[in-house]
Structure 1
Amino acid sequence: MEPDVAKPTVTWAEMRAFFPHRPLAYHIHALPEHGIVYVKNPKAACSTVLLWMDRLHTGDHDFNPGNVHKDNRLPKVSSIGRRRVARMLSGGAYSFTFVRDPLRRFQSAYLDKIVGSTGWRAEIQAALGEEPDEGRPVSLDDFVAALERQDPVREMNPHWRPQHINVMASLIRYDHIGRIETFAADLETIREAAGLPAVPVAARNVTGTRRVDLLADRPDLEERVRAIYADDFEIFDY
């Protein structure tokens, strides 16, 4: 953290514009007593970071719930105060987030939310102008075509919309933006820079299927996916 470098002032209303149809508070987690604030980026180790923060906050190093997004004991934005959280993101705390290789994140979202679940298929079918039917499979080609039609801010689900929008990169100047590819080292950098105690880290939602390269034999689709996430590639230097 560089306290001598002034950060831009961030307001809650400015941040809210990045999440017009979802609660902004769900995407920000702050620990005032530890002087840190984290902005979630779905499909980029959110569950692992939240569990780490819960253990840091409570001191309960054995805590390991089934759904850490719903069952964590982290303080709510409503209890901290929106203005205070905004001040923390404006330089009043150590701010951080994590990003991921855009191609790998895209594939993880497809495998997890579209192939491995049915609840999100209707969003893709609606984007294609089809009648929603969660029981009907959505192909990789369908998924790409739907994303090409969706407005990133107003229509894309945070699990697959560009990461620079999720983390509000044009608005927030982070103290550290970690990468999933170097997660352990980046988390240690955050811990040391923020002066945090060491707590055990437990990787969450990691499976071997996420290493499958769905685009290996589809250069046509890869080119289109790269176009969708072009800003992520440039901003985060992937």
Structure 2
Amino acid sequence: MAFHNRLTSIERARVTITKLTCPITRNALRAIPLTDFIFGVYVSRRYRYVYIDNPKTGCTSLKSAMAELELRGSESNLDPLNPEVIHYDASPLKSFAPIFPNPTLSSLAAQGYRFVTFVRNPYQRLLSCYLNKFDSNATMDNPQARRMPHGTAPGDFLEFIEAVVGQTDQEMDPHWRSQTINIHFGRITYTHIGRFENYALDYKATFEKLGIPHTDIPQLRHLNKTKAGRSRLREFYDEKSQEAVYARYRDDFSNFGYSYELPD
């Protein structure tokens, strides 16, 4: 069942009960909108795990592989390379919203479901977001532009940084929201938190931690790539923007062990 910004009375009641019974959801909804929370949860009933989405960390490739694995052996004609199957309600990992009376995140954890996610150096993640969502996306109907302070796309990267560091987590789009908030860090006990910087190895490790036999792990396909490599960071960041990003995303740098210095 899809939840939208304008909830029915029944949906509001379901959310209220969920917040009363699920500490993870209750704390998450203090910081982010309900629709973002639901969108970021992917549940495999077949393999009993939960993937918490953290955009711009290789999630497209990972969710495609997870969909492929979930569909394997079924009679479904869904294509795991189709964006609707990767990201949206057509995904086999989106069979329900984690809102009462469906299993909530707290109840799934209590049932022994394993939780996994990925993180990325905040400097690189923001640059990847800008290049993918704004520099290469000049369409009039850009959903990420609507989440900018004035509802319009930034003119350049420095304007993008200046705009987003002034937003609250509630106002931010998940693509540039704090990763600490996106993955509910400290509220969920993770089986594995992969790192984008070590993607090929951590991609494999993610499935191994979930108990998937080596021979069953889907082939890694690098989807939705941007040219936000380490060598390009100094082309975009100046001292002021670097300091601003570090200050706004300090929790991410601290929680995931990233340095103030731009990666070499």
Give the TM-score range, shorter chain.
0.7 to 0.9
User: Is residue 41–residue 163 contact of structure 1 (8 Å, CA) maintained in 2?
Assistant: yes
1:174 paired with 2:190, answer yes
Mind listing any 5+ residue stretches in structure 1 that lack a counterpart?
Answer: 1-8, 127-131
Residues in 2 aligned to 1:84 and 1:63: alpha-carbon distance in whole angstroms: 25
Residues in 2 aligned to 1:106 and 1:149: alpha-carbon distance in whole angstroms: 14
1:142 paired with 2:159, answer yes
Q: CA deviation at 1:195?
A: 1.5
Distance 1:121 1:25, change over 3 A: closer
Residues in 2 aligned to 1:89 and 1:138: alpha-carbon distance in whole angstroms: 43
Partner deviation per Cα, 1:76-127 (whole Å, 9 max, x = no partner)? 224996435432235621111000111000101111112222413343351x
Which structure has more RCO (C-alpha within 8 Å, separation ≥ 6)?
1
Partner deviation per Cα, 1:162-221 (whole Å, 9 max, x = no partner)? 1010001031121111001112222322222321132222221014x2226244461222
User: Is residue 10–residue 87 contact of structure 1 (8 Å, CA) maintained in 2?
Assistant: no
Q: How does 1:215-230 map to 2 (within 5 A)?
A: 215-216=234-235, 218-230=238-250
Residues in 2 aligned to 1:237 and 1:116: alpha-carbon distance in whole angstroms: 30
- Which sits farther off after the overlay, 84-93 or 193-202? 84-93
User: Is residue 96–residue 175 contact of structure 1 (8 Å, CA) maintained in 2?
Assistant: yes
> Residue type of the partner of 2:106?
A
2:262 aligns to what?
Answer: none
Q: Percent identity?
A: 27
Residues in 2 aligned to 1:107 and 1:235: alpha-carbon distance in whole angstroms: 20
Distance 1:194 1:225, change over 3 A: same
> Residue type of the partner of 1:155?
E
1:42 to 37, 50, 55: 55
User: Is residue 164–residue 231 contact of structure 1 (8 Å, CA) maintained in 2?
Assistant: yes
Residues in 1 aligned to 2:164 and 2:104: alpha-carbon distance in whole angstroms: 35
> Residue type of the partner of 1:52?
A
Residues in 2 aligned to 1:31 and 1:41: alpha-carbon distance in whole angstroms: 17
User: Is residue 12–residue 82 contact of structure 1 (8 Å, CA) maintained in 2?
Assistant: no
Residues in 1 aligned to 2:65 and 2:234: alpha-carbon distance in whole angstroms: 32
2:223 to 193, 204, 215: 204
1:235 aligns to what?
Answer: 255
2:207 aligns to what?
Answer: 191
RMSD between aligned residues: 2.6
> Residue type of the partner of 2:123?
L
Distance 1:85 1:172, change over 3 A: closer
User: Is residue 215–residue 222 contact of structure 1 (8 Å, CA) maintained in 2?
Assistant: no
Q: How does 1:94-133 map to 2 (within 5 A)?
A: 94-118=114-138, 119=142, 120-126=144-150, 132-133=151-152
> Residue type of the partner of 2:54?
N
Residues in 2 aligned to 1:25 and 1:199: alpha-carbon distance in whole angstroms: 26
Count of aligned pairs between the two proteins = 221
Mind listing any 5+ residue stretches in structure 2 that lack a counterpart?
Answer: 1-21, 259-264
Residues in 2 aligned to 1:23 and 1:218: alpha-carbon distance in whole angstroms: 31
